[in-house]
Structure 1
Amino acid sequence: MSYRIQSGDTLSGLAKRYGTSVDSLMKANPDIQNKDLIYAGKTLNIPGSRDSFEPGTQGVRGGGSGGSSGAGNVTAPPGGAGPGTRGPGGSPFDIAMSHMGKNAGSLKYETSGVGADMEDWVPNNVNCANFVSACLEQAGQIKDSQHSASVMTLQANLDRDPNFKRVDLKDAKPGDVVSMKVGSGQHVVMFAGWKDGKAQFIGSNNINSDGSQRISLTSMNYPIMSVHQYQG
């Protein structure tokens, strides 16, 4: 995710707020030369609270499961999630899983499937809504006109769509769209099930060493703004 630095912010304070470290923040923001000197108004790349920095060519960090698939240990909650939602084109969760480990910066230039539906102009550190929108499009759950690279706009589009309704996280199914509040910004992913009592999410997350995003599966602790479930 990205965060706009506010007056009074410090790297140590932001690291504590987002559950990361000053060193990790500096790795994600190579333009920062002095850890004690940051400027209000500048954009800071912030990794997820449990994400690690890994080269894009290696396996993803998948909420503890590791490997290239990341989903082997993720299960639906007993009596809860059940099978994922499906649209005329299939399951958005399955579609997202088929791109596990890909860098968003490469995926969005693919000429078919999800990549073809992603907007090329979106910066490589803020592709979360771009990726989720494309997965929903490929599943036939939304139209191209509903695609958005903005979390808040996508959320509003789903609120207006009679085929979607808001549900509680406890009632979520794999593929449901989960919008989160992250500092002064937002992040959007898809629900992926439960592991060890913790909700798991798949999406385009800031886990590369340069702060750019890669498709990965992990748990997150950010406040949830909404969970949208496709009703068909």
Structure 2
Amino acid sequence: MSYRIKSGDTLSGIASRYKTSVSALMKANPQIKDANKIYAGKSLNIPGSRDSFDHGPTRPGGNRPTGGGRPTGGAQGPAPTGGTPSRGPGGSPFDIARSHLGKNAGSLKLEKNGVGAEMEDWVPNNVNCANFVSGVLEQAGQIKNSQHHNAVVGLAANLDKDPNFKRVPLSQAKPGDVVSMKTPGGHHVVLFAGWKNGKPEFIGSNNVNRDGSQRISMTQMNYPIMSIHQYRG
């Protein structure tokens, strides 16, 4: 999300308004060298402020969203039923993501190897969806580190510019394709995981923990799809 700075704004005030921190804002806006010096009229990148998988009404006795469905699969999860997974030089994004099922995003991004090493530590634990998907795509060798983005719309824009990716309809999606969605509170990005009982499943960093933080899980979601990017490299 981009915010245009107004006269009288302070970085701490903006951070409080968008439920982030001054440190996170400065990391997302490397052009800011002094937290006390921001200028009216300039654009500010708000890190992941509206990139979330919003909770719908809860089920009795639980705190899981009815719109997103219940996570499925164990440590490796079920095999995909949507065709051959897309692959990059480093492997299949679907297989890479599936190997992390059940892990909390906050713990994963602190790992020193693999996807965790590609994720950025400063991203808040309730908005890691684009951070996770970017990390998976990097591990698969489908994008470079410079294409990593912690905002859904930013990642989609980077994939639009990449000639190795092409937008496809859901009917042509393969496991590992990047799916960007519109949610009531903003945006969410996951990887297509195949079909189950005639409905699409997705794997990604989702807000399924009781405290609202994210965990890698496989779910069925009913949110409008904005784009599906398929790797053709």
| Distance 1:51-1:112 versus aligned 2 partners, 3 A rule | same
The one-character-per-residue Cα deviations of 1:65-113 (angstroms, maximum 9, x if unpaired) are: x4343325x522xxxxx20111111111100011110000000000010
Does the aligned pair in 2 maintain the 1:103–1:214 contact within 8 Å? yes
How is 1:1-232 mapped onto 2 (pairs within 5 angstroms)? Answer: 19-21=56-58, 47=65, 49-51=67-69, 61-62=71-72, 66-71=73-78, 74-76=80-82, 82-232=83-233
Q: Give the aligned residue type for 2:155.
A: L
How far the C-alpha of 1:49 sits from its partner, in A, is: 1.8
How far the C-alpha of 1:50 sits from its partner, in A, is: 3.4
The one-character-per-residue Cα deviations of 1:19-47 (angstroms, maximum 9, x if unpaired) are: 423989xx97xxxxxxxxxxxxxxxxx94
- State how far apart, in whole Å, the 1-side matches of 2:226 and 2:159 are: 13
* Count of residues in Structure 1 that have an aligned counterpart in Structure 2: 181
| Distance 1:105-1:200 versus aligned 2 partners, 3 A rule | same
Q: Which residue of 1 aligns with 2:24?
A: none
- State how far apart, in whole Å, the 1-side matches of 2:57 and 2:78 are: 24
- State how far apart, in whole Å, the 2-side matches of 1:220 and 1:166 are: 20
Overall identity of the aligned pairs, in %: 67
The one-character-per-residue Cα deviations of 1:115-154 (angstroms, maximum 9, x if unpaired) are: 0000000000000000000000000000000001100000
- State how far apart, in whole Å, the 2-side matches of 1:50 and 1:127 are: 16
Does the aligned pair in 2 maintain the 1:48–1:206 contact within 8 Å? no
Does the aligned pair in 2 maintain the 1:83–1:173 contact within 8 Å? yes
- SS at 2:174's partner residue? coil
- State how far apart, in whole Å, the 1-side matches of 2:90 and 2:56 are: 38
- State how far apart, in whole Å, the 1-side matches of 2:66 and 2:113 are: 29
| Distance 1:157-1:171 versus aligned 2 partners, 3 A rule | same
How far the C-alpha of 1:183 sits from its partner, in A, is: 1.1
Report the TM-score, using the length of structure 2 for normalisation: 0.72
Q: Give the aligned residue type for 1:20.
A: P
The one-character-per-residue Cα deviations of 1:142-183 (angstroms, maximum 9, x if unpaired) are: 000000110000000000000001000010001000000001
- SS at 2:222's partner residue? coil
Does the aligned pair in 2 maintain the 1:51–1:207 contact within 8 Å? no
Q: Which residue of 2 aligns with 1:55?
A: none
Does the aligned pair in 2 maintain the 1:47–1:211 contact within 8 Å? no
Q: Which has the higher contact order (CA 8 A, sep 6+)?
A: 1
